[in-house]
Amino acid sequence: MRNPKLPTGIDNFKKIRNGNYYYVDKTSLVEQILNNGSEVTLFTRPRRFGKSLNMSMIQHFFEIGTDPALFDGLKISKNTEICEQYMGKYPVISISLKGIDADSYEKARAQLIKTINREARRFQFLLESDKLSRVDKALFSELLTRNMEEDTITSSLQELTELLEIHYGQKVIVLIDEYDVPLDKAFENNYYNEMIILLRNMLEQSLKTNDKGEAVVTGWENTQRHTVLTKVPQAMKVFSEMILLYSCIELLKHLKKNKFSDFDSFKRSLSAKISRSEWMNIGGQLIMKAETDKLKYAIRTNKIKSWDEVHQFYKIQGEHYEKDKLHHAYTSLLEILNITSKQFTSLVLKDVLLKVTDTKQWMSKGIYEARAKDYVSPYRKMVYETNEEMNEVLGRIEDNSFVQEQFADFEAFKKNIKFVIRKLNLG
């Protein structure tokens, strides 16, 4: 047998195993993923650390129709229980976003569509599946076209997962490689805001709201440290709730300041042009990046020549801050809800206000429970002879000023929500 070759630049597991290349056995990763039990697993490693090769290995291990001989002599083959239960038993969706490298959003969007098309073509047999309805097949056909609408792109992975699950009657594994590349290129070419919305919506639907499969994602962080992120869907849910709360607080401030008598007049006061801005901290003052770019350009072109003019810029931005923040909050709310300004109705506002009321209550309860841990911790209690002595030193939790303040704030918030719903006649 010829001496093995170095697999320089090769990230295809099957090609390496069949082509007499050196292979550093990383198949124990399969065991780690399965033992972890998470629905979403994230690999964070710097470039050239073998993430793509590992993704290829995972695909070949789980995918229906795989060649078991690819794993002969490797670590995972010794775990016969896992091999018998999982090897070659699952439909696998595998996409790489590495090729989405464009100088404009339109080109990047077209490249993303081609990537979806390419993966969908692997499953063209779904068009002949007797498990799928006519509607199901029509949905799949949309994934093969080059003129996808935005909502088709964002739901593509979720829909493909659901269709494969129907066909096979089996959970689907989704592999997403190099998902940070499009964002990096978008940032370099000034279309980051558009791309982050598109990718976030697509990944959110496939990873957060998709209960038909599991996902493995690479390319998150440029660092050498070992990073493990757990409960990603839960974290995304809480983060979304915090954004909704922030958005509603700003809208409530706007309502209170202007004393609107009905929902229509309130909505007319909000900008119909939706574009969420990137912000920068400039000397302790939050300013939209677009405005700071204008400032730098004005300085470079000698249109601003003195510190007095710079200070005037800061003053103007300070005057615009509340309005800019309101626009940012409203835009953020629409993004989280995945709706347009036209779809923002009185009933939508009511539902959101009731939802953030629950969020506020959960936060207040969480603060109480966190503080209550001090009173039941054996390490804290061992310092005191009795509970009475502990209460004498720490004070009763019911009397804690911070806890009281949080509950009072929640009650005031809840009362204000009821008032707004009634005043604007939200139904």
Q: What is the DSSP letter of 217?
A: E
Two tokens at 56?
Answer: 């290829």
- Candidates 250, 400, 256, 264; CA nearest to 329 is 250
- Give the per-residue pLDDT at 354: 93
Looking at residue 45, its amino acid is R
- Candidates 171, 139, 144, 167; CA nearest to 155 is 139
* 142-183 pLDDT, tens digit each: 999 988 888 888 888 889 999 999 999 988 888 888 877 888
Two tokens at 243?
Answer: 């954004």
Q: What is the pTM of this model?
A: 0.50
What number of other Cβ atoms are within 10 A of residue 112's Cβ? Answer: 23
Looking at residue 356, its amino acid is V
What number of other Cβ atoms are within 10 A of residue 1's Cβ? Answer: 4
Two tokens at 126?
Answer: 């779904």
- Give the per-residue pLDDT at 357: 92
- Give the per-residue pLDDT at 166: 92
The CATH architecture that domain 13-230 belongs to is 3-Layer(aba) Sandwich (3.40)
User: Cα(174)–Cα(131) distance, rounded to whole angstroms?
Assistant: 21
- Give the per-residue pLDDT at 232: 66
- Give the per-residue pLDDT at 224: 46
User: Cα(409)–Cα(246) distance, rounded to whole angstroms?
Assistant: 15
User: Cα(167)–Cα(318) distance, rounded to whole angstroms?
Assistant: 58
Two tokens at 118?
Answer: 């390419």
- Give the per-residue pLDDT at 223: 47
> Are 93 and 157 in contact, with CB atoms under 8 Å apart?
yes
Q: Pairing between strand 172-177 and 213-218? A: parallel
* Domain spans of the chain, in order of start: 13-230, 233-264+341-427, 271-330
- Give the per-residue pLDDT at 216: 52
Residue stretches of the chain with pLDDT short of 50: 220-221, 223-227
- Give the per-residue pLDDT at 113: 92
- Give the per-residue pLDDT at 231: 65
